[in-house]
Amino acid sequence: MAYIEGQFPQDVSLEDNFFTCGNEKISYNDIKSIAVYVKESVTNLTYYTGIPTFKDLSSNLRILLLNGDRVEIRVTAYSEWGPFKNKIGANLTDDALSFANFIEQKTFNQRKKNYLDTGNSEIYFKYQGYEFLKNKKIRLGKKIYASLDTNEFKVTKYFKKLLFEKKSNFFGDIFNLDDDEIAINLYHDEDVVIDLLNKI
């Protein structure tokens, strides 16, 4: 199987314990990680304001299986979906990310366990090269990168991103520098990572 590619909703059918993409059957129990990439398309600049106007959203769902195989599903631009119900009767067009949310909910506990299994006595879990330590520090390449300690950093969650702003940056405040503003992208398993961070 190695690599499967398809388009939702045309190539995908959802069942209670598995989904199919094309002719391949994928068990929810075999899913290790889920990445969601969302792309917004815009119309041309408006004539009077010169501001781009929103047109539509589309996304890619990238699924990594426990055996290393990958599944990539392009979610058709949402305006093209029309009414659609899968075989278990769930209407997946109620909002833009319902399909991804459905797969995430089905696999949440096993994906969480996979991250916790990367930890040890010092490391709570590892994520995309970052080590989230039990003392709330975040290490990258043997160096402390940021911290979840609110006395050190202001942490803000955006869509698919964590933003860290270092506190008490005297020169940065005077000269309006943002060298201490760093971010971690959460394209992979955002739901699991946020849940784990809320418990650290």
Q: Please report where in the chains the tokens 């199919």 appear, as a residue.
A: 20
How do residues 148-174 score in pLDDT, each as one tens digit? 998 888 899 887 889 998 876 544 444
Q: Which of 13, 144, 155, 1 is nearest to 85 (CA)?
A: 13
Same domain, 139 and 56: no
Instruction: Examine the domain organization and report whether 10 and 87 are in the same domain.
Output: yes
Distances (CA, A) of 136 to 61, 116, 147, 183, 189: 30, 15, 6, 16, 20
Look up tokens 């040890």; give the residue.
Answer: 120
Query: In terms of domains, do 61 and 127 share one?
Result: no
Give the range among 54-63, 138-147, 159-168 with minimum mean pLDDT: 54-63
User: Is residue 37 helix, strand or coil?
Assistant: strand
Residue 28 burial (CB < 10 Å; 0-12/13-18/19+)? middle
**Structural domain for 29, as ranges:** 3-96
Q: Judge whether 113 lies within some domain.
A: no
pLDDT at 181 > cutoff 70: no
